[in-house]
Amino acid sequence: MLTESAPHYRQPLLKTPFHERAREWSQLDSFVPWSGYSTVDVFTSVEQEYFAIRNASSLYDLTPMVKYRICGTDALRFLNRLVTRDLSKLGPGKVAYVVWCDDAGQLIDDGTVFCIGAQEYRLCTGERQLDWLRASAIGFAVEIQEITEDIAALAVQGPTSCALLLRAGLTGIERLRPFEHGEFTLTRAGREPMSLMVSRTGFTGDLGYELWLRPADAEPVWDVLLEEGSPRAVRPVGSRALNMARIEAGFLLPNVDFISAAHTLYVGTERSPLELGLGWLVDFGKGHFTGRRALLAEQERGPRRQLVGLDVDGNKPAHNALLYSDRSARREVGSVSSATWSPTCKRNLALAMVEAAYVSVGSTVWAEIYLNRELTWQRRVVRARVVERPFFAPARRRSTPPALY
């Protein structure tokens, strides 16, 4: 049940099933396009929304995530050829974070694969992939169907998220382990029971869940969660607060930290999973997969550059900063793709692509930052140290059952 809207030539962006509720909660009326939908950038205050994620619980509408239903006798073979990771042990009820590459071993996109049943999977990803999935499916008995508009999705993330879902009536949710999913029934006095799929996944690096709903259930679920949660600091959050959390968690954002090899125009701007620090997702032992030969060759010669986490001196986020080998800022060795001040770590964080000589933890590079002092711009070259990622990884993200509040 998508919200009725004007035709596409009058209103190009779709509205998610949470749109009306989001409008009610939005104080700033700040909506931005995301994957063909209109979504909230910030509801009230980025800081307050950020702390909902790290202190209590947050609701984030991720309906625009593109979803595919992949089924057929070859579904597993197809997926295992598509992605770099070995999915053969991914049983029903499990979720895996995956990336996939073109023939040259360059990253096309990342996403999550849900094993629904022996011959049925769901692929969730940031960008539309049907063209590539279909090309990859030739020779496999597999059916691929985009189901983005059939499913509403809501991320419930934060240290109190398990408690919140329990209070909302999702009995048994405390037993769900990281990267598991299951069917749950939301039972509330005075409401029809609603069945929904919940996965213990997320983009915050914190304790958290993602709810996959029938669009018709979107508003009631939203209402129940906020009725229960809003007295206890739960609030809907926009993409700007989420972006701070995902940088702390060290997650990559497509079109920010990498451009899909399916979209690059310039030669050499595509990135391989090895360069992006995602080598742990590449399983050379599982048999053939798309891009394997190129990745193997790259692994043998070593990537020329790599994505690293930086801790930057000072408190000014190093947005888009060029990185240099020393303070004189004469030789460029990389650039920053994402940056934020981290209120939880009290560190000035950045994700950056740097030359191979600067990738090990403890290396130092120098970031060129421009400071706006009441419209008087000043240039600073500040020290940035390569540090471990994720920057923030609380134990609660893994504990089962999670602490209750």
Partner 1 sequence: MSSTGRSRYDAIVIGAGHNGLVNACYLARAGLQVLVLERNTFVGGAAVSRKLYDGFTYSNCSYVCSLLRTEIIRALELPRFGLQIIPYEGGCTLMRNGEHLAIYDNHDALRREIARHSRHDAEAYERYVRDMLRHCRFIKPLLMREPPDPTSFRPRDIRELLFLARHFHGLGEARMYDTLRFYTMSCADMLEEYFESEIVKAHLAGSSIIGTALGPRSPGSAYVLLHHYMGSIDGAVGAWGFARGGMGAITQALASSLQASGGEIRTGAPVEEVRVQSGRATGVVLESGEEITARVVVSNLDVKRTFLKTVAAAHLPPEFLDRVRKFKIRGSSGKLNIALDGLPQFPAIPQGSPATRGDMHITDTLEMVERAYDDWKEGRWSSAPYVDMLIPTQIDPTMTPDGKHYMSVFVQYCPYQLADGDWTAAKREAFGATVIDAIARHSPDFKELILHAEIRTPREIEAEVGLTEGNIFQGELTFDQLLFNRPLPGYAQYRAPVRGMYMCGSSTHPGGGVMGAPGANAAAAILRDLGRT
Residue numbers at the binding site for partner 1 (CB under 8 A): 7-10, 12-14, 33, 36, 104, 128-131, 134, 146, 262-267
- Output the 3-class SS for 226-238: HHHHHHHCCEECC
- Say which residues have a Cβ less than 8 Å from residue 269's Cβ, sequence separation at least 6: 259
Between CA 62 and CA 218 the distance in angstroms is 12
- Backbone torsions φ then ψ of 231, nearest 5 degrees: -70, -15
- Report the residue number, 265 or 395, with the smaller CB distance to partner 1: 265
Task: Please name the amino acid found at residue 16.
Answer: T
Distance in angstroms between the alpha carbons of the first and the last residue of the chain: 34
Pick the closer one to partner 1 by CB: 142 or 249.
Answer: 142
Dihedral pair phi/psi, residue 305, rounded to 5°? -150, 165
Nearer to partner 1, 106 or 325 (CB): 106
CA-nearest of 398, 327, 308, 307 to 367 is: 327
Give least dist CB 35 to partner 1, A.
9
Smaller CB separation from partner 1, 44 or 239: 239
Q: Which is nearer to partner 1, 135 or 141 (CB)?
A: 135
CB of 108 to partner 1, least distance (A): 11
Residue (41 or 228) nearer to partner 1, CB:
41
Outline where DSSP puts E strands in 235-331.
Answer: 235-236, 305-312, 322-324
Task: Report, in Å, the least distance between residue 23 CB and partner 1.
Answer: 19
CA geometry: angle 253, 143, 115, nearest 5 deg: 55
Q: Please report, to the nearest 10 degrees, the dihedral formed by the alpha carbons of residues 187, 49, 163, 186 taken in order.
A: 10
Question: Cβ closer to partner 1: 76 or 144?
Answer: 144
- 398: tokens are 């893994």
Distance in Å, CB of 106 to partner 1, minimum: 11
Q: Among residues 57 and 129, whose Cβ is nearest to partner 1?
A: 129
Q: Which two tokens stand for residue 402?
A: 């999670």
Using alpha carbons, select from 51, 63, 56 the residue that is nearest to residue 18.
63
* Positive or negative torsion for Cα 28, 29, 33, 34: positive
Distance CA 253, CA 322 (A): 19
Q: Least distance to partner 1 from the beta carbon of 371, Å?
A: 29
Q: Smallest distance from the beta carbon of 131 to partner 1, in angstroms?
A: 4
Provide, rounded to whole angstroms, the least separation between the CB of residue 249 and partner 1.
29
Min. distance of Cβ 138 from partner 1 in angstroms?
Answer: 13
Select from 100, 105, 103 the least CA-distant residue to 126.
Answer: 100
Residues 20 and 385: their CA atoms lie apart, in Å, by 44
Between 264 and 299, CB nearer to partner 1: 264
Least Cβ distance, residue 114 to partner 1 (angstroms): 22
